[in-house]
Amino acid sequence: MTPRRIRIAVDIGGTFTDLEFLDEASGKTHSFKTATTPDDPSLGLMNAIHGAASRFGFALPDVSLLMHGTTIATNTVLTRNLPEGALITTAGFEDVLEIGRHARSEIYRLKSEPRAALVPRRRRFGVVERIGPVGEVLTELDAASVDDAIDKVAASSASVCAIALLNGFTNPAHEIAIRDRLRQRLPDIAVSCSHEVSPEIREFERTSTTVLNALLIPVVRRYIDALLERIASEGLSAPLYLVQSNGGATTPRAASEAPVKLLLSGPSGGVLAAEGVARLLGFANVVGVDMGGTSYDVAVIRDGVRTVVTQGDVDGLPVRVPMVDMRTIGAGGGSIASLDTSGRLQVGPRSAGAKPGPVCYGRGGTEPTVTDVNLILGRLDPVTFLGGTFALDLDGARAALDRRIAEPLGLDRDRAASGILAVVVAKLAGAIKLSLFERGLDPRDFALMSFGGAGGLHAVEVAEELGMTTVIFPKDPSTFSAHGILQSDVVHDLARTKVLPLKPGASPALRDLAAELLREGEALLAADGLSGGRCRLDLAADLRYRGQAFELLVPLGTAPDDDAQLEALCQRFHELHRQRFSFDDPSETVELVTLRLAAIGMLGGMAATSAPTPGPSTPLLDRAVHLNGGWTSAPVHQQDSLAAGTRIRGPAIIEQAYTTLLIPAGWSLDVAESGDLIAMRELGA
């Protein structure tokens, strides 16, 4: 009898540790949930694996692959719980990290927000050297100044050190020499170099990204080491992969070296899952939205593929590494409704968070939130909310809404409540619209996919607002990220920045650059034990019109062989520019800024999942709900009792574990073969 092969994905969230696994023989997936153990998350991870093993009958040696999405890096940044670090940079530029780009976001504010640099001035050390814009050495690296800087690092309290030199991305020689010397003299100090972490032009952004990477190394390394140790001690021999911000998986060693690439590890699981569900259901263009208690994340999947950018920010810090392109706004179930001094209604960005939480939680909240309003309008059930874990205070929510919003505005309670929801829906729709606008895309060409705890109540209304006609609700949103992680492939992102005008005769230079990247990518995959048919090498080029500051990413089958192919590439850029910005300029020179390679090692993907067997049908209850400006009675369905092929016409309420979906009149809901739910606007509605 051949051993079973079980592939496991684990997503560790703040409250729950979610596991999903694929039984390779049967092609079936199953999920399992357990409590997160914040003091040592690896304990919760093993609890989940043991729990699933005993529940679904497999043994630890059957596990062939373990994939993991983690919020460790993100939480460390959000709490700024970072170690003390040092920075070695080109002498004369020690303050670049603190000066930043020196614009402000709140233009009328007279008292500035405190701006603490990631590394204070006392631990930023200059070395004598200088590299020019095309990689030429203008001043040789002065060895004495390097030793002097290393002495200062040694004498400081720093446990990590970043090395980021001016123009260091054009020629890494000096950064490498400093790193080698530092490692030789101070082997215990963790080091990051800018040419490795973020080889991109713009010194502040690259330096800041590199510093952040260095500061994350001790925390993430400790986390990963603990995890590996725990796994080994429990007799699990399967290789571990971690999901990065770009949605690709990487080895524990690579993740420990480049922890800044894990900052969107958690959310990228959701995006991967959305990508998978979209593919399974045959939707090429999908906007994935994740609405939680405080935030709303928007990600775009186009032609079946998630979009990845390198110009992102995390908590106000520039992060110039490939990440799933995600727009986040402060709007969620906990968003507070209030009136400003001019008497205008505001919803968010202030949030009641988990504590005190909405008024209806009865934990001391006094300002009405989106969740309170949903309760008042009958969209949430005070008894079954969050699995009925605690009773909700409907009267308290009503009183708060009346006192703070309805009475001052002279509106009746229902009008005030539905008005607050209308403002929220407009905000959510606005965030989606801007996300698509930045890419020159039209919402009407997209389906919406909603998978957050608070999103199901608003998704259809958001779609209506944007003229979208389809909304997808994945069958199991509560373990959605784990589901996505299971579909991750190994991805190495490589890049070479070289400003190169794409004029006739430029193709040999481009081809050489591509060959260099391809060699490197193949070597990295070979080191992962992946080769041949399991590898894919995707080239792409960041192109722009000469003089522009931003590039458009243009996929490249192979590097152009001749002038005709080069011209065809430029044509693709003109088209893309016209599509995204409504004009192009064919007479202008197109230039290459960065050539990129995604070296992908396919881990086998996912077999089609089978529909869950519906549970016993429960008697239908009706609930009074306020919809489209009036109260109406809507049937309440339990999702786990809906069989594939079922069609439900709105108005209707669907209760999933931990979430509620609202289907207004004019929409109908189909249960797909896979068990996912697809809401469509009815023709003529």
List the x/- string, 324-353, binding to another protein by CB under 8 A: ----------------xxxxxxxx------
- The closest of 178, 617, 664 to 457, measured between CA atoms, is 664
Please identify which residue in 219, 289, 376, 423 interacts with another protein, judged by CB under 8 A. Answer: 423
Interface characters, 564-593, with another protein (x: CB under 8 A): -------------x--xxxx-x--x-----
Amino acid at 129: E
Nearer to another protein, 95 or 395 (CB): 95
* Closer residue to another protein (CB): 101 or 557: 101
Distances (CA, A) of 30 to 24, 247, 354: 12, 21, 30
- Can you tell me which of 548, 610, 641, 668 binds another protein, judged by CB under 8 A? 548
Nearer to another protein, 207 or 351 (CB): 207
Query: Taking each helix axis from N to C terminus, what angle separates 203-233 and 41-56, rounded to the nearest 10 degrees?
Result: 50
Give the residue with the Cβ less far from another protein, 390 or 437. Answer: 437
DSSP category for residue 26: T
Binding mask 97-116 for another protein (x = CB under 8 A): -xx-xxxxxxxxxxxx-xx-
Residues 6+ apart with CB under 8 A from 669: 647, 648, 649, 650, 652, 654, 661, 663, 677, 678, 679, 680
Looking at the DSSP bridge assignments, the partners of residue 448 are 287, 471
Q: Which string of DSSP letters, residue by residue, matches 221-236?
A: HHHHHHHHHHHHHTT-
Q: Based on C-alpha coordinates, what's the Rg of the chain?
A: 27
* Amino acid residing at 394: L
Are 420 and 402 in contact by the 8 Å Cβ rule? The answer is no
Q: Does 148 bind another protein (CB under 8 A)?
A: no
Considering only residues 113 to 142 of the shown chain, the ones binding another protein according to CB under 8 A are 114-115, 120-122, 130, 132-133, 138
Least Å distance between CB 547 and another protein? 4
Nearest distance in Å: CB 440, another protein: 10
Task: Report if residue 316 touches another protein, rule: CB under 8 A.
Answer: no
Contact present, 195 and 172 (Cβ < 8 Å): yes
Is residue 616 part of the contact set for another protein (CB under 8 A)? no
Question: Which is closer to another protein, CB of 111 or CB of 389?
Answer: 111
Residues 400-419 that bind another protein (CB under 8 A): 409, 411, 419
The mark string for 205-244 relative to another protein (x by CB under 8 A, - otherwise) is x---------------------------------------
Contact pattern for another protein over residues 462 through 501, marking x by CB under 8 A: -------------------------------------x--
Work out whether 430 is an interface residue with another protein (CB under 8 A). Answer: yes
Interaction of residue 296 with another protein, rule CB under 8 A: no
User: What is the spatial distance between Cα 395 and Cα 215, in angstroms, rounded to a whole number?
Assistant: 48
Shortest distance in whole angstroms from residue 271 CB to another protein: 22
Q: Is 357 left (phi over 0), alpha (psi -120 to 50) or beta?
A: left
| Structural element, H or E, at residue 31 | strand 28-35
439 near another protein (CB under 8 A): no
CA distances from 76 to 12, 40, 297, 329, 397 (A): 15, 15, 20, 20, 35
Kind plus residue range of the DSSP H or E element containing 547: none
Closest contact distance (angstroms) between CB of 462 and another protein is 13
Torsion angle of the four alpha carbons 377, 378, 380, 383, in this order, in degrees rounded to the nearest 10: 130
Does 56 bind another protein (CB under 8 A)? Our answer is: no
Residues ≥6 apart with Cβ < 8 Å to 10? 17, 18, 19, 45, 48, 49, 66, 67, 68, 69, 482, 485
Count of residues touching another protein (by CB under 8 A): 70
Alpha helices per DSSP H over 186-320 = 194-197, 203-233, 252-257, 265-281
- Using rule CB under 8 A, residue 9 touches another protein: no
203 binds another protein (CB under 8 A): yes
80 makes contact with another protein (CB under 8 A): no
List of residues contacting another protein (CB under 8 A): 92-96, 98-99, 101-112, 114-115, 120-122, 130, 132-133, 138, 166-167, 201-205, 340-347, 409, 411, 419-420, 422-423, 426-427, 430, 433-434, 437-438, 499, 545-550, 577, 580-583, 585, 588
